[in-house]
């Protein structure tokens, strides 16, 4: 018997960023570009921020594949000094969402998870970009500290302190006390509700550019369960599909399997394979009970030691099997973490569709994108009532292929205009071909952009989309 879980895959264009860009290859025919996030840590679990491409080895199904792109993408990236009058988008910490799951909990597990989250928050230098949700005992998502909404006010809103965020969590735990609904005993309903909640959060997280961490504190759901009528239900395909969508959206899942002692224990660990699969297929980690604070610390360390890499893989006809990915470093003591594989039968929209979706999300987001670091110089022509922008980009932030003596690629550029913090209009996307000599590559890229000086517009957001790597950068500048 086959059971379909409703609303389980967040299929927006931003979510499909792992395959495509067919390219010819003399040895293996058509190729697709596989784009990955890789976290580098040392034996102590601290981020490694100075790896070179030559120190990274990638194997797909055991075969060595050459890297065609590698760039450190942590929030401690060096930024070239801005010239007078220039505006920059500084690297920022990866957004981290904590989901405390009471829908799937067993007895006496909330208190331990609550304590672990509080302890982890107190150890953080800053809880900026940390968000908390409950999956309640009625199967609803309850925002303790929600993700920023689309169409949110771009004006600065104060982030809570660790103490304030902990107080919000305390209030929510007390407010949401109680037992689960009796009909949660239906395993299909239980799994369906769980995937709907994860999918809703995935859709919101996918609208934010770059890496995101999802820490799911849960008892979990089994991969295989038996119904009262004796039939078996296998949720493996749904776990794989959701994990693929999450990985495509650069969401790494850190699953913490909370399980109490005694009546609430999980003696056979039936949910463990499910949670381990989620983490393995998204580049995150799995933890046993009472390790919430360690999951939080590790997810932040992985984000700080993050690299964005890409390699070509051959396109195989009628290929449906999972392809295993393994990363190693030639530097002693360095551990590289990424998703363990991918399934090639996930469809991907055209790059133009992805670009439209990315720009549409970013122009409505209160968070600036920092996958591509931008430096924008501004000058005004009062007589013509125009604004001239010089958009400076480090070519190393873009996927540029070496063809002969040239570095070639392409970017999309869009401007968005705001008044009182809210979006008023946006320019059409303009695609710019990049074709650089070695000397031009070393000098950097400057893209000129002119726009009318619209009356009443207070801010302009400059957005640049890498059409090869599907990365995004944005910076917001004053228009007055």
Q: What is the 3-state secondary structure (H, E, C) of 139-177?
A: CCEEEEECCCCCCCCCCCCCCCCHHHHHHHHHHHHHHCC
pLDDT tens-place values along the chain, 480 residues long: 333 343 333 544 333 333 333 344 444 578 889 999 999 999 999 999 999 999 999 999 999 999 999 999 988 887 777 788 899 998 888 999 999 998 988 656 677 788 888 888 888 888 889 999 999 988 999 999 999 876 656 665 678 888 999 999 999 888 887 655 555 678 888 899 999 999 999 999 998 999 999 999 999 999 998 887 888 999 999 999 999 999 989 999 999 998 765 444 555 578 899 999 999 999 999 998 889 999 999 999 999 999 999 999 988 777 778 899 999 999 999 999 999 998 776 666 689 999 999 999 899 888 899 999 999 999 988 888 999 999 999 999 999 999 999 999 999 999 999 998 889 999 999 999 999 999 999 999 999 999 999 999 999 999 999 999 999 999 999 987
- H-type helices in 263-373, by residue range? 272-280, 292-304, 351-362
**Is 110 in a helix, a strand, or coil?**
helix
Helices (H) and strands (E) in the chain, counts: 8, 26
| pLDDT tens digit sequence for 179-191 | 555 556 788 888 9
* Cβ neighbours of 293 (radius 10 Å): 20
Structure tokens at 284: 């995150």
- 58, 65 in Cβ contact below 8 A? yes
Superfamily for domain range 1-348: von Willebrand factor, type A domain (3.40.50.410)
Looking at residue 396, the DSSP 8-state letter turns out to be G
Instruction: Check the CA dihedral 374-380-381-382 and report its sign.
Output: positive
**Three-point CA angle 21, 27, 30, nearest 5°:** 25
Closest by CA to 95, choosing from 11, 209, 16, is: 209
The rounded distance, in Å, linking the Cα atoms of 181 and 220 is: 17
Element (H, E) at 41: strand 31-41
**Buried-exposed string 43-59: b where 16+ CB fall within 10 A, e elsewhere:** eeeebbbebeeebbebe
- 35, 283 in Cβ contact below 8 A? no
List the domain boundaries for the chain.
1-348, 350-478
pTM, rounded to two decimals: 0.89
Query: Yes or no: is domain 350-478 CATH 2.60.40.2150?
Result: yes
């Amino acid at each position: 018997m086959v059971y379909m879980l409703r609303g389980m895959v967040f299929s927006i264009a931003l979510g499909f960023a792992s395959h495509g860009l067919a390219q010819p290859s003399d040895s293996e025919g058509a190729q697709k570009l596989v784009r990955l996030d890789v976290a580098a840590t040392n034996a102590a679990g601290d981020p490694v921020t100075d790896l070179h491409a030559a120190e990274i080895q990638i194997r797909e199904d055991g075969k060595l594949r050459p890297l065609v792109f590698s760039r450190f993408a942590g929030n401690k990236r060096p930024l070239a000094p801005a010239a007078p009058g220039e505006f920059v988008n500084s690297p920022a910490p990866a957004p981290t969402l904590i989901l405390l799951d009471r829908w799937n909990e067993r007895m006496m597990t909330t208190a331990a998870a609550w304590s672990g989250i509080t302890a982890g928050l107190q150890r953080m230098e800053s809880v900026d970009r940390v968000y908390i949700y409950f999956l309640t005992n009625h199967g609803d998502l309850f925002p303790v500290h929600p993700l920023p909404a689309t169409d949110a006010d771009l004006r600065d809103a104060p982030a809570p302190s660790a103490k304030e965020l902990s107080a919000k969590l305390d209030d929510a735990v007390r407010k949401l006390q109680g037992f689960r609904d009796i009909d949660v005993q239906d395993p299909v309903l239980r799994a369906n509700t769980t995937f709907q909640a994860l999918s809703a959060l995935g859709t919101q997280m996918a609208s934010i550019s770059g890496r995101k961490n999802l820490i799911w504190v849960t008892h979990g759901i089994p991969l295989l369960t038996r119904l009262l009528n004796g039939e078996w239900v296998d949720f493996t395909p749904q776990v794989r599909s959701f994990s693929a969508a999450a990985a495509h959206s650069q969401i790494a899942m850190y699953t913490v399997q909370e399980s109490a002692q005694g009546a609430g224990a999980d003696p056979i660990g039936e949910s463990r394979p499910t949670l381990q699969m989620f983490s393995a297929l998204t580049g995150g980690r799995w933890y046993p009970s009472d390790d919430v604070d360690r999951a939080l610390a590790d997810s932040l360390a992985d984000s700080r030691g993050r690299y964005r890499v890409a390699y070509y893989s051959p396109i195989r006809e009628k290929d449906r099997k999972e392809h295993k990915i393994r990363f190693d470093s030639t530097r002693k003591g360095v551990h590289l973490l990424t998703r363990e594989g991918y399934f090639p039968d996930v469809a991907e929209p055209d790059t133009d569709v992805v670009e439209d979706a990315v720009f549409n999300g970013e122009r409505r987001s209160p968070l600036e994108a920092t996958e591509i670091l931008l430096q924008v110089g501004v000058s005004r022509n009062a007589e013509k009532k125009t604004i001239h922008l010089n958009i400076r980009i480090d070519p190393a932030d873009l996927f540029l292929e070496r063809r002969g003596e040239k570095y070639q690629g392409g970017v999309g550029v869009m401007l968005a205009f705001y008044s009182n913090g809210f979006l008023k209009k946006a320019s059409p996307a303009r695609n710019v071909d990049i074709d650089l000599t070695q000397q031009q590559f070393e000098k950097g890229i400057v893209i000129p952009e002119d726009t009318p000086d619209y009356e009443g517009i207070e801010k302009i957001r400059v957005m640049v989309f890498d059409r090869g790597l599907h990365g995004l950068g944005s910076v917001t500048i004053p228009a007055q």
